[in-house]
């Protein structure tokens, strides 16, 4: 009638007697899909965990001071985003692994055991029922053959009126024997009917329960997969929302970065120090040849003679620059004052008394050479023999 809904289909109504097709086309594919789904989710959780750990380790390698400037603050925000994304990926992996995969694996194990027991029991029940039906068919054919044989023998005996008495007696004995065999076959046939009916009744009693159980398992598998997909969608949506929030924060910090302002602040902070350091460098002056060469390395060990020579050279130069040189310049300068010898008498006397030291004599020679060469044009000539004679007014 119009308005009445069609009866709901079920395994019992639609798949009766087609258990093998049901198992091959629905039960096994459904179980396989569930197992593959669980394996994919487990691999996804492992990948998310490795991805999260890699992001955290990479973010930890970058050391940035967010107070150093807006650009450094933007880079620090990006590193924080990487670290948060790694932590969120690890959290997503834990949620998928602990809340979804565990549930799927528990259902898979339970359904696999139950389905295997059902399949084994149904096979035994079907074989038992089929054996009883095959035995019934076999006994039915035997019963038919025995009865037909006894019937034919009885008719032959009744029609043998003209046969001798001895022969008719043999025929009667044969009919009696065949009748007994037919009677035995009849009892076995009736017994096989009862056994076949009992087996069929047992099959009809258990198959609705089996099919209902299989349908219930199939519905639970589908609902379990659906629930897991919904949970996965919720977890991934939460992960995506957090990722979006972090990206928006990074974009905001990056947009507010001002490179020119950071550079000006850096220059302003270092301008005073730069002015203090920017002092005029003293001009280069001639040095003795033993000072122009490569200095001995700190790790090199000098011989006693080399060390003695180095100390002597240092002493001579110090005497020339600090004591002998200034006195000779005052006495031998072209514009020397008339009172210069009297002013330097005491220092000159000290120099004269120390001339017994060869080092002091060498310092005096260097001072005299320097004064002579200083009068030659151009200054700094190196050959004393080519120098012009000099007149010392204080001599």
Question: What total number of domains does the chain contain?
Answer: 2
Is the preceding peptide bond at 225 cis, omega within 30 degrees of 0?
Answer: no
pLDDT at 275 over 70: no
Cα separation, 48 vs 245, in Å, equals 19
Q: CA 135 to CA 131: how far, in whole Å?
A: 6
Query: Are 365 and 216 part of one and the same domain?
Result: no
Residues 217 and 314 in one domain: no
Whether residues 230 and 343 fall in one domain: no
pLDDT at residue 395 is higher than 70: no
State both tokens at 308: 């003695």
CATH of the domain at 92: 1.20.1270.60
Q: Is the model's pLDDT at 388 over the cut of 70?
A: no
* Mean pLDDT, residues 244-253 taken together: 81
Tell me: the pLDDT tens digits for 154-176?
Answer: 777 777 656 676 776 777 787 78
Give the model confidence (pLDDT) of 131-147 as tens digits: 988 998 998 898 888 88
- If asked whether residues 253 and 341 sit together in one domain, one would say no
How does DSSP assign 5-21, residue by residue? Answer: PPPPP-HHHHSTT-HHH
Q: pLDDT > 90: what percent of the chain?
A: 6
Q: Are 104 and 34 in contact (CB under 8 A)?
A: yes
250 part of a folded domain: yes
Give residue 279's pLDDT band: very low, low, confident or very high (50, 70, 90). Answer: very low
pLDDT digits (tens, 9 = 90+) for 43-89: 999 999 998 888 888 888 878 777 777 777 888 888 888 888 888 88
- What is d(CA 263, CA 269) in angstroms, rounded to the nearest whole number? 10
Structural domain that includes position 124: 12-136+204-258
Q: Has residue 294 been placed in a domain?
A: no
pLDDT for the residue 356: 73
Evaluate whether residue 66 is within a structural domain: yes
Residues 39 and 101 in one domain: yes
151 located within any domain: no
Whether residues 236 and 323 share a domain: the answer is no
Do 238 and 348 share a domain, yes or no? no
Q: Does 391 score more than 80 pLDDT?
A: no
């Amino acid at each position: 009638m119009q308005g009445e809904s069609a009866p709901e289909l079920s395994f019992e109504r639609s798949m009766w007697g087609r258990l093998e097709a049901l198992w091959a086309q629905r039960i096994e594919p459904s179980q396989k899909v569930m197992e593959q789904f669980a394996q994919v989710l487990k691999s996804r959780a492992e990948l998310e965990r490795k991805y999260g750990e890699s992001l955290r380790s990479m973010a930890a390698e970058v050391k940035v001071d967010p107070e150093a400037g807006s650009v450094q603050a933007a880079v620090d925000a990006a590193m924080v985003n990487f670290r948060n994304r790694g932590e969120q990926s690890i959290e997503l992996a834990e949620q998928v692994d602990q809340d979804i995969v565990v549930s799927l694996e528990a259902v898979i194990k339970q359904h696999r055991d139950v389905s295997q027991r059902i399949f084994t029991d149904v096979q035994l029940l079907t074989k038992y029922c089929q054996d009883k039906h095959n035995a019934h068919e076999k006994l039915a054919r035997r019963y038919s053959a025995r009865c037909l044989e006894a019937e034919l023998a009885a008719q032959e005996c009744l029609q043998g009126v003209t046969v001798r008495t001895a022969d008719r007696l043999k025929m009667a004995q044969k009919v009696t024997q065949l009748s007994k065999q037919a009677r035995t076959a009849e009892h076995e046939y009736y017994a096989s009917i009862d056994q076949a009916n009992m087996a069929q009744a047992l099959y009809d009693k258990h198959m609705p329960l089996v099919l209902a159980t299989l349908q219930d398992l199939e519905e639970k598998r589908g609902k379990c997969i659906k629930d897991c997909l919904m949970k996965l969608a919720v977890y991934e949506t939460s992960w995506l929302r957090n990722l979006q929030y972090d990206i928006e924060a990074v974009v905001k910090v990056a947009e507010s970065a001002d490179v020119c302002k950071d550079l000006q602040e850096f220059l302003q902070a270092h301008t005073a120090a730069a002015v203090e350091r920017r002092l005029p460098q003293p001009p280069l002056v001639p040095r003795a040849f033993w000072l122009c060469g490569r200095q001995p390395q700190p790790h090199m060990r000098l011989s006693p003679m080399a060390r003695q020579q180095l100390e002597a050279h240092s002493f001579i130069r110090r005497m020339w620059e600090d004591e002998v040189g200034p006195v000779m310049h005052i006495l031998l300068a072209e514009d020397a004052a008339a009172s210069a010898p009297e002013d330097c008498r005491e220092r000159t006397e000290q120099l004269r008394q120390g001339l017994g030291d060869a080092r002091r004599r060498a310092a005096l020679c260097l001072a005299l050479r320097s004064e002579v060469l200083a009068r030659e044009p151009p200054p700094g000539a190196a050959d004393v023999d080519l120098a012009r004679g000099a007149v010392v007014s204080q001599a």
